[in-house]
Amino acid sequence: MSRYSGQLLAFVLGDRTWDNVARLWSKIPRAWQRRLVYTDGYGAYAAFFSPWQHRSCEKFDGGTCTVEGVNHSLRHRCGALVRRTSARCRDQSLLEKRIHLSAEAHNRAGQRRLKQRIRRRQRSAKTTGRKR
């Protein structure tokens, strides 16, 4: 996920094993693969990413709060992601489709917020007479 725009770049269903991290990384666009990666310090991440790129965040330091906010948003939009739920998916492909739809809705909302932020900055720059 992008820390700048808050948009989901890719997702993979499953546990946090090295193989699933590799599957997720292969879905990330190439331009984003050259950026820093912030994780919660789980062992598979440290083993997968090179030291120059990986930033392990301590508990409660705020480094992964953007991701946690998106997780909260997805759980709100997709009932099957809530731990104690009656909205279970019988098929993993159905769950993947539901998450994909929720992720698209999240990204559209994030795109609108980003455009609004850019417009506000442009208006602010015009009223103060300086460029940002």
Which sequence spans correspond to the domains of the chain?
18-128
pTM of the model as a whole: 0.67
Q: How far apart are CA 75 and CA 40, in angstroms?
A: 19
- State how far the Cα of 128 lies from the Cα of 69, in Å rounded to an integer: 33
| Tens of pLDDT, residue by residue, the chain (132 residues) | 777 777 888 888 888 888 988 998 899 888 888 888 888 877 788 888 888 888 887 777 767 777 777 777 777 777 777 766 556 667 778 888 888 888 888 888 888 888 888 888 888 887 776 655
